[in-house]
Chain A
Amino acid sequence: MTIELEGVGHRFGDRRVLRDVDLRLDEERVGVIGSNGSGKSTFARLLNGLLVPTEGRVRVDGLDTRKQGKAVRRRVGFVFQDPDVQIVMPTVAEDLAFGLKHHGVARDEIDRRVADTLAAYGLAEFRDHPAHLLSGGQKQLLAIAAVLVLEPEHVVFDEPTTLLDLRNRRRIGRLIHDLPQQVVVVSHDLELLAGFDRVVLFEGGRVVADGPAEQTIAAYLAMHPPL
């Protein structure tokens, strides 16, 4: 259960967004913080091969994201900030079944896993509900459930609570804390990351602090004192 980044850098054209990132992530709960434009989201996308680094390499459980991207994406689930782009099927149950169907899972097994997931995440009553009529919190819950139904080994969250109210932020936070998988959470929500095993701070595309949550969050707050 390890994600390794060796000499990783990334450019979009002439714009350099990440540089000299060397990290070995084997903790269960890893948080990533930093200012807007600090490279956090790019970093997150490198972890499941959505992006391959322009320099260095990223390996997940020994699999290179450049050469084995498909296998990496099966191991690493990815939850986006906006669930509206992540939910691809019209109804809740259909969206949960979508990835399983595509992975060639047998029909009976799909039905069983969808039913289990609906029950586990309190979505059973919304089984045939149109996804666009769900509340923001329910949509995010569905987006997460649609990733978890595929039983990934790692889950990367890119600002999962940004669009949510306090009650749903706490609900999603509790869900993330209880996951059995290794999770990497990119977030501005410092409350969500409290108690994480490790938090990495990015600024200007570089890692500038790395350690237990309290220590890194304190360093981040010190860098940005109240106005």
Chain B
Amino acid sequence: MLSLYHDARSPVHALPAGAKLLTLFAVGTGLFFVRSLPGLGITLAVVVALYAVARVPWRTAWGQLRPVLPFTALILVAQLVLTDWRTAVLVGVRILVLVLLANLVTLTTRTSAMITAIEVALGPLRPLGVRPERVGLLVALTIRFIPVIKEQADQVRAAQKARGVERSFAFLTPLLIKTLRLADGLGEALDARGLDAEPPRRRS
């Protein structure tokens, strides 16, 4: 979700964001009812084939998958210890399929389309006081500011290392202060961009 969109023209890109999110949800749920290894293997093959249809370079796909592999391996080992090899493989492949599919949705869907889909989905909850635009903004800001806060954490760590402190929980205090300052600035910037009121409904 961290703006990893891969620009290309493909049938997967052309699908509406809502349809892709629904498919992800349906497959994610359905996977837990697939208990045969060949069945899961076929699902995995289909998802991999979808990457080819979506024209996502393998290097990009691998780059997205790699950070999840150590955790998957850890779960696999835990399952091997606690259950049997068949269950462990089932769980491992399920996780791989889910992560691959979620990454594919992210790689082929612009964040704005994703947010619009979320806003549309939340539309019926408006009478209950839910403001879909605000939820959409919240999602957008979360995606946008995760890397910014990570950068700030890196800066604080680097500053502490430069002063001879290798590892310390003390880095949390300056990071919190920087984050609060960032939040202040962000609130001001949203005001400056005229976002201090509920946005009007779109005209089209």
Contacts and interface: CB of A to CB of B under 8 A. Distances in A.
Interface of A: 45, 48, 50, 69-70, 73-74, 77-78, 80, 82, 84-91, 93-94, 97-99, 101-108, 127-128, 130-132, 146-147, 150
Interface in B184-204: 185-186, 188-197, 199-204
A67 B25 CA distance: 47
Contacts of A105: 203
B204 A108 contact: yes
A91 B112 CA distance: 9
Nearest to A90: B3
Contacts of A108: 204
Interface stretch (B31-39, B68-76, B94-102, B136-144): B136-144
A106 B203 CA distance: 5
Contacts, number: 109
Contacts of A147: 193
Given A50-B188, A130-B2, A84 B194 contact: no
B140 A90 contact: yes
A89 B204 contact: no
A207 to B, nearest CB: 24
Question: In this complex, which of B2, B144, B201 has the most chain A Cβ atoms within 10 angstroms of its Cβ?
Answer: B144
Contacts of A102: 133, 193-195, 199
A89 B113 CA distance: 12
B141 A88 contact: yes
B182 interface: yes
Contact of A73 (B112, B133, B194, B200): B194
A99 B144 contact: no
B5 interface: yes
B194 A74 contact: yes
